[in-house]
Amino acid sequence: MSQLLTPIEVSPTLIEQFKRDGHVRIDQLLTEQEVGEFRAVVNAAVADRRTKIEQIPLEERDTYGKAFLQIMNLWEEYQAVAHWVLSKKLASVAAQLLEVDKVRVYHDQALYKEAGGGITPWHQDQYYWPLETNKFVTMWMPLMDVTQLMGTLDFASGTGNVGYLGDIPISDESEAILGQMCKERGFEIVNHGDMSAGDATFHSGWCLHSASNNASSVLREAMTIIWFEDGARIIDDPDPQQRWNKGRRDDMQRWLPDRSPGQVADGRLTPLISPFDPN
């Protein structure tokens, strides 16, 4: 897997687009062979993890649960997945889009939207993240060829620069409120369309996004990785801006159990990646 040690160059045009819109698409980020290997190890890990969790029938889940099967932090348990999630190749894209030298992995998550799976409501990821930085980026990569009908992401361009849009966790309510906000404020809604396995979109922490239902007859397989700038601190507690919510406290407990509010977010579960370091 020597190819994973080699950073790739992101064009200045894409970096500027990311800064302006909050999202970009990069085609053939992984080669056909690479994404085939990545898919195999992720699928194996997902299958193993699913045997360990309760399976709730689709019709009995809430809106978020109907959207997809979400299995987090595979790298932590499966070394074969860690080779990819912690790779310099993928981290180099994140670092260039964030315009930093080093990044840390926040977590990964496999998002498998079942045939007939519901919408992913409008939401902002960073609503859930307890760090004192706006330099977050998420990669969304299909592990198979997908069409827009299978639930590729919709982005509200420019919202990444607007920032916090309200105390609105992902839900039916967020779909209604934030969807209406997009119309009222004139945010352009962009979907990057059909994608091949190994293509990827990247979006910033505050970039408002959603996805349609999976109208196909097959399971849609996608893998995501979230990175943030090295050196970011955890929000103070108490916080004068009152940014702590249940989601952020839950994330703090899960991803930063060995750190405290106000400290640098450099814990065991947020590994450092220096993609441009030759060593």
**pLDDT single digits (tens) 46-63:** 999 887 665 656 566 455
Q: Which residues, including other chains, have CB under 8 Å from residue 239's CB and lie 6 or more apart?
A: 261
- The residues pairing with 227 across neighbouring beta strands, listed in sequence order, are 105, 137
CA–CA dist 119, 209 (Å, integer): 11
What residue ranges of the chain have pLDDT lower than 50? 61, 64
> Tokens representing 111?
């998002």
Looking at residue 221, its amino acid is E
Q: Which 3-state string (H, E, C) describes 160-227?
A: HHHCCCCCCCCCHHHHHHHHHHHHHHCCCEEECCCECCCCEEEEECCCCEEECCCCCCCCEEEEEEEE
* DSSP symbol at 170: S
- Tell me how far the alpha carbon of residue 164 is from its chain's centroid: 17
Q: Which residues, including other chains, have CB under 8 Å from residue 189's CB and lie 6 or more apart?
A: 154, 155, 156, 157, 182
- Residue 146 three-state SS: strand
* DSSP symbol at 189: E
pLDDT on residue 3: 77
Instruction: Report whether 151 contacts 220 (CB < 8 A).
Output: yes
CA–CA dist 174, 228 (Å, integer): 25
Closest CA to 272 of 106, 129, 90, 110: 106
**pLDDT single digits (tens) 192-236:** 999 999 999 999 999 999 999 999 999 999 999 999 999 999 999
- Residue 231 three-state SS: coil
Residue length, the chain? 279
**CATH (one of 3.30.390.10, 2.60.120.620, 3.40.640.10, 3.10.105.10) for 2-232:** 2.60.120.620
Instruction: Report whether 148 contacts 225 (CB < 8 A).
Output: no
Cis-peptide into 238, omega within 30 deg:
yes
**In terms of DSSP H, where are the helices of the chain?**
12-21, 32-50, 63-67, 74-77, 79-85, 88-98, 159-162, 172-185, 246-255
CA–CA dist 73, 255 (Å, integer): 9
Place of tokens 């992995």: 105
Instruction: Report whether 166 contacts 196 (CB < 8 A).
Output: no
pLDDT on residue 95: 99
Place of tokens 């992913």: 120
Q: Based on the number of CB atoms within 10 Å of its own CB, is 188 exposed (0-12), middle (13-18) or buried (19 or more)?
A: exposed
Looking at residue 117, its amino acid is G
